[in-house]
Amino acid sequence: MVSSRVLQLLACLASLLSAGAEDDSHLVIAPQSPVLEIGTNFTATCMIINTAEITADDLYWNLSKTTVSKEQYIKINKTALNVTIPITSEKPEWLFCLCKRVSPKVVLNNGRFIHGILLVKGYHPEKPENLSCVAVQNGTYISPSIRCEWEVVGRQTTEVPTTYTLIVRQVLSGETHYTSTPAKTAQVPLNVFPSFMLLDIWVEAHNKLGTIESEHLKKDANYFVKTNPPSDVTVISEKSFPTSLLINWAHPIASEYLRLMYQIRFCRLGSHIWNYVPLEDTSEYIQSFRLQNLRPDTVYVTQVRCKNSLKNHGFWSNWSNNATERTQEDRPRSKPDLWKIVTEDGIKFICKDPELSNGRITRFDIMIQNPKDKIKNGSSEWERIMVNRSEADSSSSHRKITLLKKIPLADKTSVKVYVTAINSVGKSDEALLVIPANANEFAPVEELMVWPHEGQLLLEWKPPTSTAVSEYVVEWVSGGQIDWQRERGSTRRTVIKGNLERFVCYNVSVYPIYSGRIGNPAHAEVFLEEGAPVRGPTVKLNGNPGRNEAKLTWEEIPQHSRRGFITNYTIFYTSGAEIHAITVPANTTSYTLTSLSANTKYDTWIKASTIRGSANGFNHSFTTLKYAPGEIEGIVVGVSLGFLFVVLMTMLICFYKKDLIKKNFWPQIPNPGESTIGNWSPDYPLKAETPKENCLSGISVLDMDICDGKCVIEEDKASLPLKKDKYLSEEHSSGIGGSSCMSSPRQSVSDSDEGGDMADTTSSTIQYSSVVASSGYKGQTPNSHPQQSIFSRSESTQPLLDSEENADMVVQDGSRQFQHFSRQPCCTHNAGNKDTTNCDDFSQLAVEQQEIPQSLDFCPLEEDNEQITPTDELSADWLPTVPVSSYMPQLGGYRPQ
């Protein structure tokens, strides 16, 4: 081993020396272009040639760009350095031998002091496994190509791929055929398929790192054959053998090539559950077979396949095409399945075709025995009921239900019914059903339980304890559809065999049958599978909604829409913001919502829930009342009573306080004729010029309409001269009342011009009257008369009106009103005091200490509007401390005297 390594190195060195001479390189690596197995160690040698400039001590190794550790170096001699590196990664790498810069020559000729090799890495091939080969039939002979496949084991790299060679060798002749592929399947073409010859087949996996063989398949060539399925498969139905079918077929290949064995399978049409004929019955080289123990008048589908007759040799062919045939008819071998439906007006007798009808049922014969009739008529007769079964009906696994007869329901009468089924071959045995006079005397089953399980409905019950049950009838009804099945008397648990639908409620009943007599049934409701309801119940209001409550009613969801047992209802209602939910039991169909807000629109709907989900019903909106019923009536009655009480109280007050009221509302007006007015002049003695007429100067009676405001404004312009001295107006005084002699109304001028606007807001007719006294005001306008004012005071003992007592309010209002009134165009100031002669006639007229420089003239008034109107005003800032009296408008009763 060592010597071979040395020889290899030497050979390599020799080749490299020559190459090195050509390249003039001073370093060479051996071996060149190695293919390395991953997971092993690789040793390379770097040799110095044609130079004594460097020694092995000056060398170092780089793997790609990484310098290999010196611990991995082995110095062979002065000119050779080994390195050993582990091969780990799959990626190809360069291994460089380099020289340190020990001299200028090395530096200058750096390219000649470097050498590298590419390390190509891979995995050693591993043995292919599970080699299998097949030779298929091609036409009338076996294809000369053998196709094999195997499992590839191990890994491979791109640089070191593995190739697989499939080799087929004839053992006797040694003739070999092969084909190569990188894949895991291959096909080897032969000159002819060497039937009966021993073949040796194997796969060689090889790459740059080695070769390895798979296990050898050393078999007879026919071991690999897969023929076509049997051809021309036909099935013959024979009249005399209603339970048998004869199958014929042709060999797919000549017996000289291969002797075959066969396998047969069959099933009823539409069943897809295959019955296999035991292999030992068909392992011979046969071309026909007879299927037995089949059901008469039943369509069977048959298939055949074949393989090499040698055990464990060859592959099964594919199954042949379907060969379909119906067995011949036979007479019904079982009774018709007789049952009843009890309706309000009678009993319907129904039946299914016999389970072993063995042909198309053409009619039923029925005989009903009523003991009373029997006594009357002696004996009953068979009645024929013709039926027209289609081929589909007879071939269907679901037996059709036939209504045989309906009889009226007679109480306390036992009825016996006999039925036979007839087909084209013969008639069945009789089926008997007894409707007892009193079913209650036959006890029902106990503890009936029905539950769904894996797509079926399971039933379990305990038998009645009293009597022995001959059989049970399990009946299930849904939406008017009825079906039933019979169970033996020993049955305690069974499965409903009918076609059940999901989300449908079945009413399952178990009837014990006592020798044909129908016992009392036990019932249960069940769903094969529950789902969410299709829709929720439709809610509506029961009556009108109240102020705070509303009664909701709904109807149960129709049975077909429930799709499950309703577990509860959830009532939702909302006024827009928050949704309230109330859950009520499933048996509830009405509910009263309380605590609702008044006069609010509510939306409500109901969700019906099953264990599998829920569905909402339609939305219903209603609006609660603003007032509860009777609330308005209560308010009206209360208000009315209150009003009545007030009226009564007022009347009582009026009655008992009539004097006081009269006094207040109709004050006693003193007779001016009885009053005396004292005239005085604090500064001046009374003059003879006092009005001679018995009238009160300074009193003006105004009758003013709203429309007169304009006149007032216009008159203002006309009376501008009067405004020049506003004090002038304050020197006027007004007096209460008036008389016909007051023909010249006094012009009053206020220091404020704003009063004109107020005239608009005054009542249409306002009477004012005031008594003003000017105390010693000496100011005189140039055009005022030098005549001395007349001061008058009422000496009447009659109390002032209320308005006079509320002086503050009145003054304010009055001052404003006076501003308007001062512009009364009807009033003018007269230079003289001619019209004040009647002032003496007024008694008890209080006149303040105020000079009246001018006599007051009264403008003529219409008789209708004659009012005593105050015509003068005391300015608050002018006479703040002077008590001001004024008269409120007098409503009725007070008339100018």
Partner 1 sequence: MSERRTRRGTGSDLSRTTAARAAAIAEQLHHECAILLELYRKTENFPADVADGRLVSVPPPSSQLDTRDKLWRLHSALLQCRSLLERAIAKEEEELGGGRKGEYENQRKMVKERLSLLLINTGELLKAADGPAILTPSLEGLELDGPTILFELKLWVYRIFKEVDYWTKMTITTLKGLPSVIVKEPARTTRARRSTRR
| H runs (alpha helix) in 205-292 | 279-282
Kindly tell me which residue out of 141, 178, 565, 777 binds partner 1, with binding defined by CB under 8 A. Answer: 141
Distance of closest approach, residue 129 Cβ to partner 1, in angstroms: 25
Which amino acid, one-letter code, is at 420?
A: T
User: Binding to partner 1 by residue 173, rule CB under 8 A?
Assistant: yes
> Which span (73-81, 194-202, 508-516, 597-605) binds partner 1, by CB under 8 A?
194-202
Tokens of 491: 């049955």
Which lies closer to partner 1 via its Cβ, residue 256 or residue 381?
256
Distance of closest approach, residue 219 Cβ to partner 1, in angstroms: 8
* Residue position matching structure tokens 């045995």: 429
User: Binding to partner 1 by residue 170, rule CB under 8 A?
Assistant: yes
Which lies closer to partner 1 via its Cβ, residue 251 or residue 340?
251
Distance of closest approach, residue 305 Cβ to partner 1, in angstroms: 20
Kindly tell me which residue out of 194, 691, 735, 853 binds partner 1, with binding defined by CB under 8 A. Answer: 194
> Which span (167-175, 176-184, 674-682, 847-855) binds partner 1, by CB under 8 A?
167-175
Which lies closer to partner 1 via its Cβ, residue 225 or residue 728?
225
| Residue 858 and residue 800 in contact, taking contact as beta carbons nearer than 8 Å | no
Kindly tell me which residue out of 1, 2, 52, 192 binds partner 1, with binding defined by CB under 8 A. Answer: 192
Q: How far apart are CA 225 and CA 373, in angstroms?
A: 78
Which lies closer to partner 1 via its Cβ, residue 194 or residue 229?
194
Report residue 63: phi and psi, to 5°.
-105, 110
Which lies closer to partner 1 via its Cβ, residue 309 or residue 681?
309
Which lies closer to partner 1 via its Cβ, residue 310 or residue 653?
310
Burial category of 699 from C-beta neighbours within 10 Å (exposed 0-12, middle 13-18, buried 19 and up): buried
> Which span (250-258, 323-331, 791-799, 879-887) binds partner 1, by CB under 8 A?
250-258
Distance of closest approach, residue 22 Cβ to partner 1, in angstroms: 53
Residue 40: count of CB within 10 angstroms of its CB:
12
Residue 585: count of CB within 10 angstroms of its CB:
9
Which lies closer to partner 1 via its Cβ, residue 262 or residue 484?
262
Q: Scanning residues 488 to 517, which ones bind partner 1 (CB under 8 A)?
A: none
Which lies closer to partner 1 via its Cβ, residue 219 or residue 268?
219
Which lies closer to partner 1 via its Cβ, residue 141 or residue 418?
141
Q: How far apart are CA 357 and CA 336, in angstroms?
A: 8
Half-sphere exposure of 880 (CA within 13 A, CB side): 1
User: Binding to partner 1 by residue 136, rule CB under 8 A?
Assistant: no
User: Binding to partner 1 by residue 259, rule CB under 8 A?
Assistant: yes
Q: Which residues contact 697 (CB under 8 A, 6 or more apart)?
A: 691, 733, 735, 790, 792, 833, 835, 836, 837, 838, 839, 852, 855, 856
Q: How far is CA 144 from each of CA 168, 177, 220, 613, 668, rounded to the nearest angstrom?
A: 12, 11, 14, 65, 154
Which lies closer to partner 1 via its Cβ, residue 215 or residue 220?
220
User: Binding to partner 1 by residue 257, rule CB under 8 A?
Assistant: yes
Report residue 540: phi and psi, to 5°.
-145, 165
User: Binding to partner 1 by residue 256, rule CB under 8 A?
Assistant: yes
> Which span (107-115, 200-208, 305-313, 594-602) binds partner 1, by CB under 8 A?
305-313
Q: How far is CA 419 from each of CA 196, 363, 366, 430, rounded to the nearest angstrom?
A: 67, 10, 4, 5
Q: Are strands 505-514 and 493-495 parallel, antiparallel or unpaired?
A: unpaired
User: Binding to partner 1 by residue 285, rule CB under 8 A?
Assistant: yes
User: Binding to partner 1 by residue 309, rule CB under 8 A?
Assistant: yes
DSSP type of residue 64: T
- Based on its alpha-carbon atoms, the radius of gyration of the chain, rounded to whole angstroms, reads 68
Tokens of 9: 């190195």
> Which span (307-315, 674-682, 705-713, 751-759) binds partner 1, by CB under 8 A?
307-315
Distance of closest approach, residue 201 Cβ to partner 1, in angstroms: 15
> Which span (253-261, 425-433, 756-764, 842-850) binds partner 1, by CB under 8 A?
253-261
Which lies closer to partner 1 via its Cβ, residue 140 or residue 671?
140
User: Binding to partner 1 by residue 311, rule CB under 8 A?
Assistant: yes
Which lies closer to partner 1 via its Cβ, residue 92 or residue 144?
144
Distance of closest approach, residue 224 Cβ to partner 1, in angstroms: 13
User: Binding to partner 1 by residue 314, rule CB under 8 A?
Assistant: no
3-state secondary structure of 482: strand
Q: How far apart are CA 242 and CA 407, in angstroms?
A: 38
Distance of closest approach, residue 196 Cβ to partner 1, in angstroms: 4
Q: Write the binding mask 602 to 641 for partner 1: x where contact by CB under 8 A, - elsewhere.
A: ----------------------------------------
Burial 228-250 (b: 16+ CB within 10 A, else e): bbbeebebebeeebbebbebbbe
User: Binding to partner 1 by residue 310, rule CB under 8 A?
Assistant: yes
Which lies closer to partner 1 via its Cβ, residue 280 or residue 864?
280
Kindly tell me which residue out of 254, 653, 654, 661 binds partner 1, with binding defined by CB under 8 A. Answer: 254
> Which span (152-160, 190-198, 501-509, 559-567) binds partner 1, by CB under 8 A?
190-198
Distance of closest approach, residue 171 Cβ to partner 1, in angstroms: 10
- What residues does 119 pair with on adjacent strands? 93
Distance of closest approach, residue 203 Cβ to partner 1, in angstroms: 23
Distance of closest approach, residue 138 Cβ to partner 1, in angstroms: 11
Burial 788-804 (b: 16+ CB within 10 A, else e): bbbbbbbebebebbebb
Q: How far apart are CA 590 and CA 549, in angstroms?
A: 13
Residues 677/680/686/689 CA torsion (nearest 10 deg): -50
3-state secondary structure of 377: helix
Q: How far apart are CA 830 and CA 840, in angstroms?
A: 18
User: Binding to partner 1 by residue 145, rule CB under 8 A?
Assistant: no
Which lies closer to partner 1 via its Cβ, residue 198 or residue 532?
198
Which lies closer to partner 1 via its Cβ, residue 282 or residue 875?
282
Distance of closest approach, residue 422 Cβ to partner 1, in angstroms: 52
Distance of closest approach, residue 195 Cβ to partner 1, in angstroms: 6
User: Binding to partner 1 by residue 554, rule CB under 8 A?
Assistant: no
Give the number of residues written for the chain: 897
DSSP code string of 621-689: EEE--SS-TTHHHHHHHHHHHHHHHHHHHHHHHHHHTHHHHHHHHS-----GGG--EEE--SSS---TT
User: Binding to partner 1 by residue 250, rule CB under 8 A?
Assistant: no
Kindly tell me which residue out of 3, 4, 33, 191 binds partner 1, with binding defined by CB under 8 A. Answer: 191
Q: Scanning residues 195 to 234, which ones bind partner 1 (CB under 8 A)?
A: 195-198, 220
> Which span (10-18, 154-162, 188-196, 720-728) binds partner 1, by CB under 8 A?
188-196
Q: Which of 221, 224, 134, 128 is nearest to 180 (CA)?
A: 128
Q: How far is CA 300 from each of CA 327, 391, 660, 679, rounded to the nearest angstrom?
A: 8, 14, 126, 151
Which secondary structure element, helix H or strand E, spans residue 708, and what is its range? helix 708-718
Total interface residues for partner 1 by CB under 8 A: 20
Q: Write the binding mask 80 to 119 for partner 1: x where contact by CB under 8 A, - elsewhere.
A: ----------------------------------------
Q: Which residues bind partner 1 (CB under 8 A)?
A: 141, 170, 172-173, 191-192, 194-198, 220, 254, 256-257, 259, 285, 309-311
